[in-house]
Amino acid sequence: MTIRSLSNLGSTSVHAWETLQVELHGSYSSQRLTRLREFTNATSRLKLTALILLTPLPCLFAVILADVAPLKPPEAGTNANVVHWLRSLLVVWAFTLSFVVQFREMMPTLPMSPIRSFNITAVVSVCVICWCYSLSLAIGFPVPFLMVMGAPVWATLLLSSFAVSWRRQIRESEEVQAQVLDGLKVFVIQMSMIVVYPFYNFGFTQLSSVAQAAFSLLLQVIKLAIKNLIRRYVRTQADMKPEVVIFNVEVFNALFVSFCMQNSSSMLTIAAIMAADMIHMAISLREIVLMLRELKKIEDQLDLIEALATGGLPSTKKALSKTYRNAMDR
């Protein structure tokens, strides 16, 4: 194999890898970038710091509130475990609200007021918990695979609520129909994770220590496949790609990685999982650095355009000099 062939093979491999990396295909609109810059310039550092630090707290409080609730033993029966059902209602409510907000953001042309979002979330959550409670009376408490058994009812109720809320807009516009169809495809992919990961965990626990180490690498393949499927159908809202991918695939994968590490007694398996995550993290950090350079380049161009628009020659020279220095540094 010649040097040229090796070079072509390397270029093809790099291109294929970059094609599969969802992080490199998201984009921010110029309007969003401009609004972010205006907000940053108009907001104090104290407020920005507080905003960054306090934003994750509601999610943490919801998780802590669900876990600190004292539960009675399963032998006491379903009627004695009222706290369990209240906790389940809280979890389903938060889960449903996240999907309602996601659909509302993915399809901004469709009307969805905060009150309607809250009503849909409340109705769907209560109905799903009632269904799960009826299963516990018929099958026994606790119900095995309760999440999988409750998912079809939850999905049917949620999608029916969207169909009723947006029926007129869906009938009148083909563009809206295409957006709704893409949203449904993303929804199906997200729901598939509820089935794919438990099956993976079942297979993982049946293997030997050495086989678990090799099988753990399949997690990265599953994550990469789901990320690219979601990217394919979040095409009209490029700004939303990072949020949809991170808050679905990355979080779900992280939970199952920790779960697999807890169920594995082999140091080889734990080392393989940690090594795969560290390599992926290093690649992601490198990609972030590259994107920050591109953002800096865009910021310099905005400074130059602003200087030209104001007509100030000193500012223009300063902006040109700054752009030239940054280009030389890169």
DSSP 5-31: HHHHHHHHHHHHHHHH-GGGT----HH
pLDDT of 91 reads 86
**Mean residue pLDDT across the chain:** 78
Reduce the DSSP state of residue 206 to 3 states and report it.
coil
Helices (H), 246-266: 251-263
Distance CA 32, CA 38 (A): 10
Helices (H), the chain: 3-20, 30-42, 45-54, 57-68, 82-106, 114-139, 146-165, 167-172, 174-205, 209-215, 218-233, 241-245, 251-263, 267-310, 313-329
Residue type, 36: L
Q: Which of 8-12, 129-133, 320-324 has the lowest mean pLDDT?
A: 320-324
Kindly state the percentage of the chain with pLDDT values over 90: 8
Burial (Cβ within 10 Å: 0-12, 13-18, ≥19) of residue 223: buried
pTM above 0.85, yes or no: no
Yes or no: say if 172 and 212 are a contact pair by the CB < 8 Å rule: no
**Looking at the predicted structure, is the pLDDT value of residue 23 above 60?**
yes
| Residue 260 neighbours by CB under 8 Å, 6+ apart | 201, 204, 212, 216, 219, 269, 273
**Looking at the predicted structure, is the pLDDT value of residue 245 above 90?**
no
Q: How many Cα atoms are found within 13 Å in the side-chain-facing hemisphere of 291? A: 13
Distance CA 318, CA 303 (A): 10
What value, to the nearest 5°, has the Cα angle with vertex 190 and ends 232 and 141?
Answer: 170
What value, to the nearest 5°, has the Cα angle with vertex 195 and ends 121 and 266?
Answer: 125
Q: What is the mean pLDDT of residues 122-144?
A: 92
Tokens 């080889």 sit at which residue? 268
Structure tokens at 25: 């295909």
At CB < 8 A and 24+ separation, what contacts does 298-303 make?
A: 298/33, 299/37, 300/326, 302/34, 302/37
Residue type, 284: S
Report domain extents, the chain.
44-172, 173-265, 268-330
Tokens 């947006």 sit at which residue? 166
Q: Which of 92-101, 171-180, 235-244, 284-293 has the lowest mean pLDDT?
A: 235-244
Residue 62: CB atoms within 10 Å: 15
As a dihedral over the C-alpha atoms of residue 79, residue 120, residue 228, residue 274, rounded to 10 degrees, the angle is -40
| Residue 137 neighbours by CB under 8 Å, 6+ apart | 78
Yes or no: say if 240 and 259 are a contact pair by the CB < 8 Å rule: no
Confidence tier at 129 by pLDDT (50, 70, 90): very high
Q: In Å, how far are 165, 192, 208, 296 from 33, measured between CA atoms?
A: 32, 33, 50, 12
pLDDT of 327 reads 42
Q: For residue range 53-95, what is the model confidence (pLDDT) as tens digits?
A: 888 788 778 777 777 778 888 888 899 888 889 988 988 998 8
Distance CA 74, CA 62 (A): 23
